[in-house]
Amino acid sequence: MSRSGDQPVGALPFDVEDVGARALAAARLGVRGANPLVGAVIVDAAGRRIAVGHHRGAGTPHAEADALANLRADVESGRLDITDANPPGAWTMVVTLEPCHHTGRTGPCSHAIRDAGIGTVVYAVADSTDTASGGAAWLAAQGHRVIAGSALAPEWSRAAAQLNHRWFSARAAGRPFTTLHLAQTLDGRIAAADGTSQWITSTASRHHSHRVRARAEAIIVGSGTVAADNPRLTARLPDGSAAPRTPLRVVMGHRDVPEGAALVGDGHYRHVRSRDPRAVLAELASVGIDHAMIEGGASIATAFLREDLVDEIWLYQAPLVLGSGRGAVGDLGIDTLSAARRFEYDDVGDGALARCGDDVVLHLTPRAADHDTDTLMRR
Amino acid sequence: MSRSGDQPVGALPFDVEDVGARALAAARLGVRGANPLVGAVIVDAAGRRIAVGHHRGAGTPHAEADALANLRADVESGRLDITDANPPGAWTMVVTLEPCHHTGRTGPCSHAIRDAGIGTVVYAVADSTDTASGGAAWLAAQGHRVIAGSALAPEWSRAAAQLNHRWFSARAAGRPFTTLHLAQTLDGRIAAADGTSQWITSTASRHHSHRVRARAEAIIVGSGTVAADNPRLTARLPDGSAAPRTPLRVVMGHRDVPEGAALVGDGHYRHVRSRDPRAVLAELASVGIDHAMIEGGASIATAFLREDLVDEIWLYQAPLVLGSGRGAVGDLGIDTLSAARRFEYDDVGDGALARCGDDVVLHLTPRAADHDTDTLMRR
């Protein structure tokens, strides 16, 4: 009987919490949106980390494919020597989410791992989405050793679940992931008493928000804002030209969209005659939108916050004080401090806070309540 | 006739804008408050920068003395060799403010420069305060070459004036420099609808604000806040113990201070029965207070902002959204965007923005209008 038979199934030539933490750090380099944040590390039989990868957002390679591509590039360029790295069958892919088993804009990671011949896969969190799940079972059926991280490295598994907790809950609810854009004064105003609001924030902030906007598949704006401000809602590059892809413009509310409205332009818009954020998101989901940006005005922002349907916030804060005028957020039905909507500053991607021209830009995501993570872990 | 007689008076063996910029960068390492921000650089006859210094706040050495102390320390430790640096009479002290000529908590810089034998002094901005001015004239009378930077390096001089523009205007008005403390939610609230407000910000933010508070000579709070919250208003260290120096507690407003109020404790408090910020500051100036921190509540913060009597803001922003409740700032009589109070994020000292526990802390100072700087330059 071989020695390995005495070892527990999970015995691995490295510390899973350590390597898992490295994979999570890689995941945090990505951006939030249609896809979850995922990081992957490849470790050889000697415990050496030979590749790291992460997902950079919808339409780009998944973390597993990125790690494999980085490995190939490093070997081909001579930066990495794997002649004594033992065969791929002795390697382990440590990944923060179960490898996908679905062909979307990129091929299934399950196949990429099989093709690379990597013997062992350790994943932090199971992917329970209908379209992409099944990668673990398929790989096991192909003869790979596949290990769920929840028992092996519970802290890592929990942290990986928390990192994407809002993405998982959006998917579970069958709705797009949402990003709220807010641009306000220090005292939380988006317009002065006489209605003037252009421009509270600096050109640099508006460029930044165009960059964020270009990641989304849809931009939601209230019909009142369309009537008042007539925004174009294009995603423009800093030089003023259009970004390669312009998101679907979505007008929500009962007011008609004026025929000459700027956002009607190329016809790539949709009017949802509802003020109910759930109804709007359901309609967007039905046309395949996975990531929507909420642009305003205040009543739209308030409606999404009230229903706890904001998954990410980019807050541009101009160094102005108005003291009166329209607030960025209206009544949420919250009357005591302990019931406040709790977020956390989010250092994923571009970071939690930065100067942006004359302004600062703050990045937030809802804080995971313990029960949220527990629900994820039980799935 | 010597060759030097053909040179303009201002001819110096270095670029004044360059060295001046270095002195300004040093000045920015200090903290705002009772004293202006000042930086100094000593350059030898070969144009080598042999010392840099800056002022660290009331009670600590002035920038000129700091630069001289750094020079001595570097020479004594052997880090700097000045054997071929030519004699001090051939050196130049480049300083962002006219050297003081007054004995406060530290000796006059005019004497320190004379004692060090430094031949030339170039200063960016004249010190027009009654108590400290006269350093340039006295040094010139002692035979030093003394050059005002305004003609020689106008950009530098202008930047130096801007750096302290609020300190100069506070001094010109005979009032203390003021620091406003704000602690709010993302939507600018300081209490929920039911009045709950403890704690919106994290322990780390409260520690940070105690550190800022310990720099001030007085803390101003409204009599309504005393009645409602009964704050101690001590400056405490992170371990909970009292800071070495506790500022004077100042209660403003008409309501009586309850006999058992926590801030009455050691008797180091003062009740000013006025809601007029100018009257309160005048009374503080009359008892020698040069730097006051405005702690709140909202009506006090609003009163100071309305009168443009806020020279610095520390804003602690917790990642919460309330949607209703008490705003941090009330009506300022501003009805249109172009009339908003304009600040700028201020990287002086601790920097313009930072994570602080769960919160972010933002540092701001009023933006200098062009006419403010022009007034300073004409003085």
CATH number, position A364: 3.40.430.10
Q: What is the pLDDT of residue A155?
A: 95
* pLDDT value, residue A275: 95
Residue B53 bridge partners (DSSP): B40
pLDDT tens-digit map of B119-128: 999 999 998 7
Indicate if A180 and A313 belong to the same structural domain.
yes
B78-125 per-position pLDDT tens digit: 999 888 778 999 999 999 999 998 877 777 899 999 999 999 999 999
Residues from chain A contacting residue B331 (CB–CB below 8 Å): 323-324
The predicted model gives A67-82 an average pLDDT of: 93
CA distance A126 to chain B (A): 29
The answer to whether residue A115 sits within a structural domain is: yes
Same-domain pairing of A323 and A280: yes
Distance from C-alpha of A187 to C-alpha of A169, rounded to nearest angstrom: 32
Mean predicted confidence (pLDDT) in A335-351: 95
Q: Which residue of B has its CA nearest to A344?
A: B319
Q: Is the pLDDT of residue B76 over 80?
A: yes
Cβ A320–B306 below 8 Å, yes or no?
no
Q: What is the mean pLDDT of residues B365-373?
A: 79
Domain count, chain B: 2
Average model confidence (pLDDT) across chain B: 90
Name the pLDDT band for A372 (thresholds 50, 70, 90): low
A58 and A199 both lie in a single domain: no
HSE value, Cβ hemisphere, 13 Å, CA-based, for B147? 21
pLDDT above 90 (res A310): yes
Task: Note whether residue A81 is domain-resident.
Answer: yes
pLDDT of residue B17: 94
Q: How confident is the model at residue A373 (pLDDT cuts 50, 70, 90)?
A: low
Amino acid identity, position A286: S
Distance CA A89, CA A69 (A): 18
Under DSSP, the state recorded for A198 is: T
* Best to test chain A binding among B182, B187, B198 (most A CBs inside 10 Å): B187
**Same structural domain, B155 and B179:** no
Q: Provide the residue range defining the domain that includes B101.
A: 3-163
Cβ-nearest to B192 among A196, A324, A334? A334
Q: Which of A106, A128, A163 is the last residue of a domain?
A: A163
Q: Which residues of A touch B188 (CB under 8 A)?
A: 184, 186-189, 327
A275: which residues sit within 8 A by CB, 6+ positions away? A252, A253, A254, A299, A303
Residues of B that are catalytic:
64
Whether B158 and B193 share a structural domain: no
On whether both B221 and B361 belong to a single domain, the answer is: yes
**Is residue A252 a part of any domain in this protein?**
yes
- B127 shares its domain with B180: no
Same-domain check for residues B158 and B178: no
B4 pLDDT more than 90:
no
Q: Is the pLDDT of residue A242 over 90?
A: no
Structure confidence at residue A356 (pLDDT):
95
Residue B345 exposed, middle or buried by CB count within 10 Å (0-12, 13-18, 19+): buried
Cβ–Cβ gap B355/A360 under 8 Å: no
**In this predicted model, which residue has the larger pLDDT, A266 or B68?**
B68
* Residue A169 forms part of a structural domain: no
The verdict on whether residue B62 carries a ligand-binding annotation is yes
Which among A33, A6, A37 is positioned nearest to A124, based on CA atoms?
A37
> Looking at the structure, do residues B128 and B187 belong to the same domain, yes or no?
no
Exposed e or buried b per residue across A210-249, where buried means at least 16 C-beta atoms within 10 angstroms of its C-beta: bbbbbbbbbbbbbbbbbeebebebbbbeeeeeeeeebbbb
Distance from the Cα of residue A376 to its chain's centroid: 17
pLDDT at A228 over 90: no
Is B165 known to sit in a ligand binding site?
A: no
Contact B353 A355 (CB under 8 A): yes
- Is A170 part of a structural domain of the chain? no
The answer to whether position A82 is within a domain reads yes
* Residue from the list A194, A197, A336 with its beta carbon closest to the beta carbon of B335: A194
| pLDDT value of residue B6 | 38
Specify the 3-state DSSP secondary structure of A308. Answer: coil
Is A340–B185 a contact, with Cβ atoms under 8 angstroms apart? yes
pLDDT of B170 > 70? The answer is yes
pLDDT given for residue B378 in this prediction: 57
C-alpha to C-alpha distance for A351 and B152, rounded to whole angstroms? 42
Give pLDDT, residue B7: 38
A246 domain residue, yes or no: yes
pLDDT of residue A4: 35
Q: Among B139, B163, B187, which residue terminates a domain?
A: B163
The predicted pLDDT at position A265 comes to 76
With respect to residue A299, please indicate whether it lies within any of the assigned structural domains. Answer: yes
Please give, rounded to a whole number of angstroms, the shortest distance from the CA of A167 to a CA of chain B.
Answer: 19
Quick one: pLDDT at residue A141? 95
HEC letters along chain B: CCHHHHCCCCCCCCCHHHHHHHHHHHHCCCCCCCCCCCEEEEECCCCCEEEEEECCCCCCCCHHHHHHHHHHHHHHHCCCCCCCCCCHHHCEEEECCCCCCCCCCCCCHHHHHHHHCCCEEEECCCCCCCCCCCHHHHHHHCCCEEEEHHHHCHHHHHHHHHHCHHHHHHHHCCCCEEEEEEEECCCCEEECCCCCCCCCCCHHHHHHHHHHHCCCCEEEEEHHHHHHHCCCCCCECCCCCECCCCCEEEEECCCCCCCCCHHHCCCCEEEECCCCHHHHHHHHHHCCCCEEEEEECHHHHHHHHHCCCCCEEEEEECCEECCCCEECCCCCCCCCHHHCEEEEECCCCCCCEEEECCEEEEEEEECCCHHHHHHHHHC
pLDDT in tens, A90-109: 999 999 999 998 877 777 89
Q: Using the beta-carbon criterion (under 8 Å), do A336 and B194 form an inter-chain contact?
A: yes
Of residues B363 and B244, the one with the higher pLDDT is B363
Contact A358 B345 (CB under 8 A): yes
Q: Would you place residue B323 in the very low, low, confident or very high pLDDT band (cuts 50, 70, 90)? A: very high
Closest partner residue to A337 among B192, B327, B345, by Cβ? B192
Chain B residue whose CA is closest to A356: B345
- Does A354 lie in the same domain as A208? yes
Share of chain A above pLDDT 90, in %: 75
- CB-based contact B177:B291 (threshold 8 Å): yes
Residue pointed to by tokens 């809602």: A233
- The crossing angle, in degrees rounded to 10, of helices A298-306 and A277-286 is 90
Residue A125, min C-alpha distance to chain B (Å): 26
Set of chain B residues whose Cβ sits within 8 Å of the Cβ of A345: 319, 355, 358-360
- Binning pLDDT at 50, 70 and 90, where does residue A237 land? confident
- With an 8 Å Cβ cutoff, are A367 and B319 in contact? yes
Residue among B322, B332, B362 minimizing CB distance to A360: B362
Complex ipTM tops 0.95: no
- Paired sense of beta strands A248-252 and A291-296, if any: unpaired
Residues A65-75 have a mean pLDDT of: 95
Residue B156 confidence (pLDDT)? 96
Does one domain contain both B279 and B357? Answer: yes
Q: Residue B90 maps to which CATH number?
A: 3.40.140.10
Of A17, A64, A76, A98, which is the active-site residue?
A64
Of the three residues B108, B137, B163, the one that is the final residue of a domain is B163
User: What would the mean pLDDT of B177-187 be, rounded to a whole number?
Assistant: 98
Same domain, A145 and A269: no
- Residue B236 pLDDT exceeds 90: no
How remote is the C-alpha of A300 from its chain's centroid?
21
